[in-house]
Amino acid sequence: MSIALAGDTGIGSAQVSGPSARAASVAEVAARWAVDVDRDARFPQEAVDALRDQRLLSCAVPPELGGEGATLRELCTIARTLGRQCAATAMIFAMHQTQILSLVRHPGGDGVAGFLRAAVAGQYLLASATTELGIGGDVRRSTCAVERSGGVVSLVKNAPVISYGEYADAILATARRTPDSPPSDQVLVICRRADVTLERTGDWNTLGLRGTCSPGFVLRATTTPDLVVADPYSEISATTMLPVSHSVWSAVWLGIADAAVEKARRYVRVAARKQPGAASPAALRLAEAAAVHQQFADVVFAAAGRFDDADAAPAGSPEAEVACGVGYSLAMNNLKVTASTLAVDLVGRALLICGIAGYREETEYSLGRHLRDAHGAAVMVNNDRIMANSAQMATAYRGTI
């Protein structure tokens, strides 16, 4: 079955307030449909339409290209706000912004800049196709290759996962630079909606993050040479995709933890009103969870701030060079593993506090969706793969993180 990508969506009214403030209204929409999205494993169309209406899909694009130049800390704040209500919506936002910043920070010519202007005007949703059958989940290698003929670029990629691919306005795909290039010599190709067909090769019926709608596809695309990003994908991955994705993903998982801890807090308050003055083991558990929760938030926003500081520093300065070092890559790997572990830990703590009320699906304290979504964190780029990579770097690294 061949599927054409979703059409362009009209642009809603621009808002005066900053992007972080506007996220609250999107979160309200996401909350309204979160149970439905999870139950039916369907795309959160209402929430994505709200992101478009609030012009949050383009908030990280620089002002000179029509955006607002949102920092990574601001993107993490938005992802956290959305994650409290619907982790699938938040993860779609997070993955989209990773693609946006990959183009913003590696423009490489008029074609990419022109695409970004069009993306702002049309509030495009961008998806990613970096994994491929036969490479074992290693996004730094590709089997497929870019073919060039008569001023046309084409590629065919068999991807086991393309998150929300059927609903995206463009897909950024990795491929070998030429058919003769080694697997690690990759480029990033912008594949516009009108230039792509998707042949579905699988279904999406998962424990959690069900609304991300991430089945496998054979992607066939034709485009123009100016939409092949000039910088090598190895550079894009190391300096942008890895730190940005790990930061915004972690902010989504923090949002899940926010929701779980808040339910636990409400449960303890209600119980305390029923038995005033009585010592409560649940209250002690809540205090312990609150301490871990604070540490979780500090870790996420410290990492985002570190990225923003390096991004704002003059090129060649010690601050800017930090983001190119092994220590920085180790720190960002540690962020992902730590955040994905803490998300499950905090939802589990909340479940112990709420007891059977949290275990049952029909109560206001139900934690089932949060627990299922949180467990997706460790397998979104498997923690074992990340730690194996970190082990190689740590063995050779002589500095401090």
**If we measure between CA atoms, which residue out of 211, 237, 247 comes closest to residue 75?**
247
Question: Who wins on pLDDT, 376 or 276?
Answer: 376
Q: Are strands 126-129 and 170-176 parallel, antiparallel or unpaired?
A: parallel
Instruction: Give Cα separations from 212 to 58, 305, 367, 390 (angstroms).
Output: 19, 27, 19, 28
CB 236 within 8 A of CB 139: no
CATH for 233-396, options being 1.20.140.10, 3.40.50.620, 3.30.565.10, 3.40.50.970: 1.20.140.10
- The pLDDT of residue 250 is above 50: yes
Instruction: Give pTM, 2 decimals.
Output: 0.94
Specify the residue for token string 């590629």: 155
The model's pLDDT over 191-205, given as tens digits with 9 standing for 90+, comes to 999 999 999 999 999
Give the least confident one: 3-7, 64-68, 157-161.
Answer: 3-7
Q: Which whole number is the average pLDDT over 21-30?
A: 97
Tokens of 221: 């695309």
The model's pLDDT over 69-119, given as tens digits with 9 standing for 90+, comes to 999 999 999 999 999 999 999 999 999 999 999 999 998 778 999 999 999
Residue 375: what residue type? H
The model's pLDDT over 177-187, given as tens digits with 9 standing for 90+, comes to 999 999 999 99
Superfamily for 128-227?
Butyryl-CoA Dehydrogenase, subunit A, domain 2 (2.40.110.10)
- pLDDT-based confidence at residue 16 (cuts at 50, 70, 90): low
The predicted pLDDT at position 383 comes to 94
Geometric angle at alpha carbon 47, from 374 and 302, rounded to 5°: 50
| DSSP state letter for 377 | G
- The pLDDT of residue 397 is above 90: no
- The pLDDT of residue 7 is above 90: no
The predicted pLDDT at position 327 comes to 87
- Strand ranges inside 294-381, DSSP E: none
- Structural domain boundaries of the chain? 2-125, 128-227, 233-396
Instruction: Give Cα separations from 286 to 279, 280, 303, 375 (angstroms).
Output: 13, 10, 26, 21
The predicted pLDDT at position 396 comes to 79
**Fold held by 2-125:** Butyryl-Coa Dehydrogenase, subunit A; domain 1 (1.10.540)
- E strand or H helix at 297, and its extent? helix 281-312
CB count in 10 Å sphere of residue 361:
10
Helix (H, G, I), strand (E, B) or coil at 4: strand
DSSP one-letter string for 25-41 = HHHHHHHHHHHHHHHHT
- E strand or H helix at 117, and its extent? helix 110-122
CB count in 10 Å sphere of residue 117:
16
- Separation of alpha carbons 380 and 336, rounded Å: 10
| DSSP state letter for 157 | E
The predicted pLDDT at position 277 comes to 78
Give the least confident one: 7-21, 269-283, 309-323.
Answer: 7-21
For residue 66, with 0-12 CB atoms within 10 Å meaning exposed, 13-18 middle and 19 or more buried, which class applies? Answer: middle
Which sign does the torsion angle of CA 90, 5, 191, 210 carry?
positive
